Amino acid sequence: MAEPYSPFSKDLQDVVGQRLSMVVFVMDYWQLGFNEHHFNVYSSIAVAGPGWRVRDGEPGFRDRLCERLTYIVAAVSRCADGLTFSFDDGSLIEISMREADYVGPEAFEYRSPNSGRMYVG
């Protein structure tokens, strides 16, 4: 179930229409950049498209994630299990917010360049 309106849901919708412009593999987390919108991800990520799906740690994950570069975010949704970025080519990036999928205190961090608010999920 999607979360009701909140400042976070409004700021998150600002990512719609942005390109995935940056993927950084840091030692134990990822950075995803959608033009000026940046996420630090400390949780499991899955990438999916028509007829395929890979999670971090599986063969082909890094390639599939980097293949999303330059695609435009068509929709963003948040539910109890995580965030999903849907792209204009029909593919998805899913960030898990299940406690079993991250080892630190949070699954992700996001600072909205429009409002200046910092979100931790």
Q: Are 102 and 43 in contact (CB under 8 A)?
A: yes
Tokens 């009701």 label which residue?
4
Q: What is the pLDDT of residues 57-107, one digit of tens each?
A: 999 999 999 999 999 999 999 988 999 999 999 999 999 999 999 888 999
The contacts of residue 79 (CB under 8 Å, 6+ apart) are 1, 2, 3
**pLDDT value for 7:** 67
Kindly list the distances between the CA atom of residue 7 and the CA atoms of 4, 14, 62, 66, 81, in Å, as whole numbers in the listed order: 10, 11, 32, 30, 19
**pLDDT value for 5:** 46
Q: What is the pLDDT of residues 13-47, one digit of tens each?
A: 999 999 999 999 999 999 999 999 999 999 999 99
For the entire predicted model, the pTM comes to: 0.91
